Amino acid sequence: MKVESLAPRIQFLGGAQTVTGSKYLLTSNSKNILVDCGLFQGLKELRLKNWDRFPIDPRKIDAIILTHAHIDHSGYIPKLVKEGFNGKIFCTPATEALCRILLPDTGHIQEEEAEYLGRKKLSKHEPPLALFTREEAGQALKLFSPVPFDESIRVANEFDVRFQYAGHILGAASVIVKVGNSTIAFSGDVGRLNDPILKDPEPLPNVDYLVVESTYGNRIHPKSDPKGDLEKVINETTDKNGVVLIPAFTLGRVQTLLHFLAELRRENRIPNIPMFLNSPMATSLNHVFCEFKFLHKLHDNQCREMCEVVKYINSVEESKALNLRKGAMIIISASGMATGGRILHHLKAFAPDPNNAILLAGFQAEGTRGRQIQDGAKTIKIHREMVQVNAKVFSLENLSAHADYAEILAWLSKSPVKPKRVFVTHGERQTAEQMKTHIEEKFAWNCSVPAQDQEFNLE
């Protein structure tokens, strides 16, 4: 007797009405794949979800399909492996190379922060625990299986999966999944059109269902020149002998900043002041960037200039010494939203001085310190201390690695796609709702903004 196939289902376990924690569970005939497996960041109520019991037994997930290496898309993988997941993790080769740096570093940061909270007795828990360790991240990396762009693979004998170029960061992909008679596209994070470093995202094929991001679903990026804006902030601040402090995502945003700084220095448009990149993993990430030259626009000389324009800070002692330096300088440090990492110690040292500048170089999610600074907070809480923010605050929104809503509409317009249904994700609630409206007005497609854990049948 033939068993009738059930319609595929999709459940939104993260990235639903928030820009963080992306996880999309796709189920067909008792087979399960997870598209993205990201950490929740930002608001405390979201961060606490990282500690919750996972909604499905991790041992019942057959595979993870990873769009790109950013931690809000990949950072929960070691925790899921720790809880029993033992399937393959498919991604592009560049994404695998980046995860081999990012995931152990994230585990190390988790351990460092737990140790710091324990030593300073700043936690309610005794002892404070890391969500996962560097060693556990290393175990998770053994499950990675890289797949080149545009090569179709069969996953769990049920899903045909293909990665296509999405811009955004090195190795980032949109994921096309064919299951039964339906094809679903997951946009991943869509890159900018005419980005200074990365190529344009490739148009989608025709699909039945579309999961599309909406990080900037309510905004158009300014038309200003980000390199010129960077030049202006540096010159204004260094004229006052001040420090330019840049919280930045070590992957993607840092490479763009370094490229601009190298050009500005070569063109004598900024003074010859010390410039520091305070990130233990930055050297390795820059090497990966130069290794995968076919995925971006920079030639060999530009890659070399980008890598050599700053002094790299690796040790804790060097990092502490930066806070004692006097005079004009530029410090770039993670994390990009000031949620953790060495940037916190630099903010404590430099944010109170009105001669200094804090330059926010990308999207700041709700609930993060970066968002508080962007919104004009005069004090922020760091390590249970209130820190004055007297430094001048600037935002380089045009440096964002995410397409704005007009660029996403332009990207979709280049495709033959006419989906039965669109799911708008990876945006704060009002932002996602506005992206939904833009898509409906432009294409008259049937759109939904899924809630956390909401599930849909796919015909």
Residue 386 belongs to some domain of the structure: yes
**331 and 442, same structural domain?**
no
Residue type, 279: S
pLDDT digits (tens, 9 = 90+) for 69-88: 999 999 999 999 999 999 99
**335 and 258, same structural domain?**
yes
What's the CA gap between 400 and 229, in Å, rounded? 13
> How is residue 294 written in tokens?
């076919």
**436 and 392, same structural domain?**
no
Residue 2 belongs to some domain of the structure: no
Q: List the CATH number of the domain containing 410.
A: 3.60.15.10
**412 and 341, same structural domain?**
no
Domain holding 240, by residue range, is 226-399
Number of domains in the chain: 2
Q: Which residues contact 105 (CB under 8 A, 6 or more apart)?
A: 134, 280, 281
Residue 416 belongs to some domain of the structure: yes
**441 and 337, same structural domain?**
no
Residue 1 belongs to some domain of the structure: no
Kindly list the distances between the CA atom of residue 178 and the CA atoms of 54, 205, 412, 419, in Å, as whole numbers in the listed order. 26, 12, 19, 14
Residue 3 belongs to some domain of the structure: no
Q: List the CATH number of the domain containing 318.
A: 3.40.50.10890
Which of 243, 259, 247 lies closest to 310 in space, CA to CA? 259
> Alpha helix (H) ranges present in 341-428?
343-350, 369-374, 405-413
The reported pLDDT for the residue numbered 124 is 65
Give the residues across from 198 on adjacent strands.
296
Cβ density class 9-30: b for 16+ within 10 Å, e for less: ebbbbbbbbbbbbbbbbbbbee
The reported pLDDT for the residue numbered 286 is 87
**357 and 242, same structural domain?**
yes
Q: What is the pTM of this model?
A: 0.88
Kindly list the distances between the CA atom of residue 18 and the CA atoms of 433, 449, 456, in Å, as whole numbers in the listed order. 12, 11, 18
The reported pLDDT for the residue numbered 406 is 97
Domain boundary among the residues 378, 399, 420 is at: 399
In the three-class reduction of DSSP (H, G, I as helix; E, B as strand; rest coil), residue 275 is classed as strand
The reported pLDDT for the residue numbered 401 is 87
Residue 425 belongs to some domain of the structure: yes
Residue 374 belongs to some domain of the structure: yes
Before 335, cis peptide (omega within 30)?
A: yes
The reported pLDDT for the residue numbered 206 is 96
**202 and 183, same structural domain?**
yes
Give 384-389's long-range contacts (Cβ < 8 A, gap of 24+): 384/122, 385/348, 387/347, 387/348, 387/351, 387/352, 388/351, 388/352, 389/351, 389/352, 389/358
The reported pLDDT for the residue numbered 122 is 66
Q: What is the 3-state secondary structure (H, E, C) of 234-275?
A: HHHHHCCCCEEEEECCCCCHHHHHHHHHHHHHHCCCCCCCCE
Domain boundary among the residues 375, 399, 423 is at: 399
- Which H or E run contains 183? strand 182-186
Contact 247, 335 (CB under 8 A): yes
Q: Going by DSSP bridges, is the β-strand pair 275-278/329-333 parallel, antiparallel, or unpaired?
A: parallel
What's the CA gap between 213 and 407, in Å, rounded? 12
**353 and 246, same structural domain?**
yes
C-alpha 200: how far from chain center = 18
**200 and 250, same structural domain?**
no
The reported pLDDT for the residue numbered 2 is 46
Domain boundary among the residues 370, 399, 428 is at: 399
Per-residue pLDDT of the chain (459 residues; tens, 9 = 90+): 444 567 899 999 999 999 999 999 999 999 999 999 999 987 889 989 999 999 999 999 999 999 999 999 999 999 999 999 999 999 999 999 999 999 998 898 889 888 877 787 766 666 788 999 999 999 999 999 999 999 999 999 999 999 999 999 999 999 999 999 999 999 999 999 999 999 999 999 999 999 999 999 999 998 888 999 999 999 999 999 999 999 987 788 899 999 999 999 999 999 999 999 998 777 788 889 989 999 999 999 999 999 999 999 989 899 999 999 999 999 999 888 888 888 999 999 999 999 999 999 877 878 889 999 999 999 999 988 999 999 999 998 788 889 999 999 999 999 999 999 999 999 999 999 999 999 999 999 999 999 999 999 997
Residue 444 belongs to some domain of the structure: yes
**205 and 86, same structural domain?**
yes
Give 374-380's long-range contacts (Cβ < 8 A, gap of 24+): 380/338, 380/347, 380/351
**123 and 56, same structural domain?**
yes
The reported pLDDT for the residue numbered 251 is 82
Contact 405, 437 (CB under 8 A): no
**131 and 242, same structural domain?**
no
